[in-house]
Structure 1
């Protein structure tokens, strides 16, 4: 999420666990095992809530991925089956952020030390938030600094392209004014959104029964082709976009997974052009001049 200060990015991130489906028995066991190793399991009981971890941007690489003399899981593993929220993304050390590339791709993190080599689970939903530039007001001529737009280019360049390529949804969050808060606007309650998400997750559970995948995000190879390939119109649009947007192989497969999820949320059995178009709209856009 990219937007000015006070737009509600952190609030949106903190609300995400509330619309996710509850942990099933297997997921609860995995989360509790990680917490047990980390020494954070309360009362020795299985946890039933999805983790939400929000480390400060001063966190070290060991704090994020795990380490120490007696190797313990880091934040990316403590958020396993939950949400890892990185606020003020460009303020994290670049090496620290790049250490997340392998966990995001593989769903595990390997910590190598002289006295131990340990692999922890790290299947997380990464949510990141950042201002468009250091002053945070790039789109407001009255508040933006005199260095715009170079200020924005320098600030956004702190985050590497390969890491951004692993983030499926890039959303601009508009500023919220005091007038917006005073106006009564129609809204959808979290319970309704959670019900739709749960229904989509149940579809995926049935779809991938008997395979190694649990959700669309896990689908690979023949499973991905069998269940996430769009219809003819969707394939034509995706082929055009892949060339125009210079999609990498990773970006191409991630668009397929996102489009399949959008179709699931809409209750559609097939992935159509409209679902592909929405998935493409979330891909990373070039920085604004």
Structure 2
């Protein structure tokens, strides 16, 4: 995930006690790389990353905390003391959070790789990533996540726009090398296509937004796929409008079981991150209610 709020997934899991998320750690920029004109990579590390937990899932994500300059009080466990940090902020200031998929993590060096979609000077994290220099600090909360490819699936469908590209890339790397299926990725144009490590049997199909409406080409490409006769497991993440349409198609028309589908709107056209985060829970509840009324499992 390269923007917006944390994912909502629908795979069925066994009931467990909620895990308390660890306090944030203090990370430093180690190095940066511009992958494409609209995709920037930042590698975080430094001594403050030592308490960070190893991410488990293909869709593992962290929340980056951007705070005004000032002290970064540490607790006895080496993590940021959240209450002390909050108390140290100037009046009216707060830590602003943005969620990003973990592209890679090296537990030996505690280096965390994140990819950022960049829209010029728009937004908070994208401009930060472009301007980031070694030694710059940022808070890291997490990791979260709930989904990894099911190796027992007969076929795999991975769908996402640029915001979901890191998660799809990790999923492709984790698929069995004899896996089959389709990955559909929507980016602005051909300059935004990157090399992905996909099994030979998984077609990677790029579609372009260009000056059109985000998500339209993505939905069309999924609907054009010749649907397999055997069980399909799907991962679909991106703009909320396209995700809603694809969810209806996969659940109602293709009868993909709830436990075989991880799907979430990472962002919403016309809404900023805070606005979408506030509306997302109700949006998801309405979709769930509609599926329940339709008798979908």
* TM-score, normalised relative to structure 2: 0.26
- Which protein shows a greater Rg? 1
The structure that is strand-richer by fraction is 2
Higher relative contact order (CA 8 A, sep 6+): 2
The structure that is helix-richer by fraction is 1
* TM-score, normalised relative to structure 1: 0.27
